[in-house]
Structures are given as C-alpha cells and as structure tokens.
Amino acid sequence: MLPAVVKLCCAISYPHARSMAGLKRTAMAAIGQEIAHMKKGGHIFLPDWASQLKWPGNVNHGALRMKDERTSRPVGLREEEVAYLKQGQEALQKALEIVQDQAGWKRETSQENGDVIYSKVLPGAQKVFRLEAVLDASPEELYDHLFVKVEEMNQWNPNIKQIKVLKHVGRDTMVTHEVSAETAGNLIGQRDFLSVRHSYKHESCIYLAGGATQLESFQPQKGFVRAEDGPTCIIIQADGVSSDRSRFTWLLNMDLKGWIPKSIVNQALPRAQTEFTWHLRRHLAEQSQSRRAQSRRNVLATRL
Ligand SMILES: CC(C)CCC[C@@H](C)[C@H]1CC[C@H]2[C@@H]3CC=C4C[C@@H](O)CC[C@]4(C)[C@H]3CC[C@]12C
C-alpha cells in the first residue's frame, strides 16, 4: 500500500519537481533518499529528523527541541507503530502549546494544601483545566505509577473502573483503553476512552502525553459513550528543594461526548482532577509507608 501511494505522489508531483531549482531540488532529492531507506525490509526506520518536532518559538520547554536520545536512534518499527508514535508526539506538542500559552487562564479553585486549578476556553469553545500541585514523590516514582504501572491505576483510583494496555510501541508509547467509574448521583454515565499515551524524559522533566486514537479491532462498545481524552499532558518536574518532591502540572482536556449540560461537565472535570490528585497522594503515602516498614524488617533480619 505505502509504495503504491508513494509512486502515485511521485507521479503527481513529477511535473512540479522537474521545474524546481536550487535548494528545493536538493530537498526533493533528500526526501527521496529517506523514503528509499524507510522501505528497507518492510520496516520503517525512523530517520533522525523524525524526532525533531516543530516547537513553538517562545516556550520554556524549548530544550525539547533537542534530540531525544531514545527515539532519535533508528528503531525498527512497523508502519502502524510509527503512526502511534507520531500521534503521541503530536499530542505532546499540542498539549504543551496549550499549557504554555499564558493568555486567558482563570483561577477555578485553590486549596489549602496549595493545589490550584486554572481553566481556559480554547478557540472552538472547549474548556480545559490545568492543575498545579506539589507531590511527595520523585519524578521517577510518579512516572512509575502513572506510566509504567498504568494498568494498576484502578486499584488506587476508584474513578477509574478499568484500564488496559492494548499495544506497546517501544518503551515510551502505548495504546490504552480506560473505562471511568460511575459518578456520584450518576449525572454523567460511564465513559470509555481509547488513547495513545506517550512519555518523554528530558533532563529533570518527565512528560506524559495522551490523545484519543482509533484501533480497528476496538470499536466503541455498546452501553458506553466513547469520550475523547486529549491532547493532554502531565508535566512532572523535580522540585528544586527536595529530590523526593515533584511539581505536577496536569492539563485535562476532555470531550465527554453525549448530551450533558456544559455546567455539569465544567463542574465534574475539575472535581475529577481534585479527586485524582487526592487518591494519588494517598497511594504515594501508602507506598512510602510500606517501603519504610520493609526496610525496618530488612534491618531486623540482618541483626538476627
Ligand atoms: C468526569 C468523569 C466522567 C471522568 C473522570 C475520569 C477521569 C478523571 C479519568 C478517566 C481516565 C483517566 C486517565 C487514564 C490514564 C492516564 C494515563 C496516565 O499516564 C496519567 C493519568 C491518566 C491521564 C488518567 C487521568 C484520569 C482519567 C482521565
């Protein structure tokens, strides 16, 4: 299929390509070479430039423009896998653009523990929420709970009924299916989501991005309204003061679909963020408690 499409494109562009001169011609030749490389052995080998995303000019995460040492290496990926990787990278880029555009954010709630939720209405009337919190865990630990052990999330978060990884693409990208739990009063029925999730580590920052996707073998299921999550991201930054603390920024950008009054959705979403963070904190506290108990047991065992 791909070779046929490439041939067709070449045929269509041939008259234009012939009349090109100078740099344009050189660029055409380079693209042609890359396509030839990509076809090798039925696998698509990502060229170096594939990981170079187009970042907006004045972002403070501009360092992301540098190469990601894990994806810049040519990796043997199938065509479909490359598509998921690209979707994940694009979700990250779009989500960061939303987070970093400082205009128009309104404070929704601020809590005694310092957590703040801001909201903003995007062009097209979609309202997004941004939670800022400081958590008692290192970035690696949060990455472990929120990305590596994503399938265990429903064990500590009752708002998530079920979560399954349907596909892994390398270490940093996956396709997940989530089912939300019933909400209090059941004003909003259960939703299911099919998302591509992508993680990106850069220096002391970890990014977890997500966006709605499709999988042919996984059509919307009867009885569920398929909602759309993303482009969304969580940014985890090491806290300057302590290595066991992280700054947590979470952009919730969710289209719940179905016929629910806007006012209800706009209350449910920041509440879901607050609850999620509450359960995450409780889980982290339990984890560090059981770690401490284990190390006490280890000390005792070595003394005996
Ligand atoms: C308002 C009601 C109907 C929906 C509430 C459920 C929401 C809060 C749940 C459903 C699915 C959940 C997501 C499932 C998977 C991930 C990937 C992980 O790496 C970070 C958290 C994240 C992004 C979850 C955030 C919370 C989430 C969006």
Which residue's CA is the closest to the ligand 1 atom numbered 10? Answer: 180
Ligand 1 atom closest to Cα of 269? Answer: 1
How far does residue 125's CA lie from ligand 1's centre (Å)? 21
How far does residue 278's CA lie from ligand 1's centre (Å)? 13
**Which pLDDT tens digit goes with each residue over 139-178?**
999 999 999 999 999 999 999 999 999 999 999 999 999 9
Which residue's CA is the closest to the ligand 1 atom numbered 23? Answer: 210
Q: 185: phi > 0 → left, psi -120 to 50 → alpha, else beta; which? A: left
| Whole-number Cα distances in Å, 54 to 19, 49, 80, 244 | 28, 11, 22, 33
Task: State the burial class of residue 46 (Cβ atoms within 10 Å of its Cβ: 0-12, 13-18, 19+).
Answer: buried
Which range, of 10-14, 37-41, 182-186, averages the lowest pLDDT? 37-41
Confidence of residue 66 (pLDDT cuts 50, 70, 90): very low
Please state the pTM of the whole predicted model: 0.76
Q: Rg of the chain over CA atoms, in angstroms?
A: 22
Query: Residue 75 corresponds to which tokens in the numbers above?
Result: 């990796």
Distance CA 297, CA 250 (A): 37
Which residue's CA is the closest to the ligand 1 atom numbered 8? Answer: 272
198 CB within 6 A, ligand 1: no
How far does residue 276's CA lie from ligand 1's centre (Å)? 8
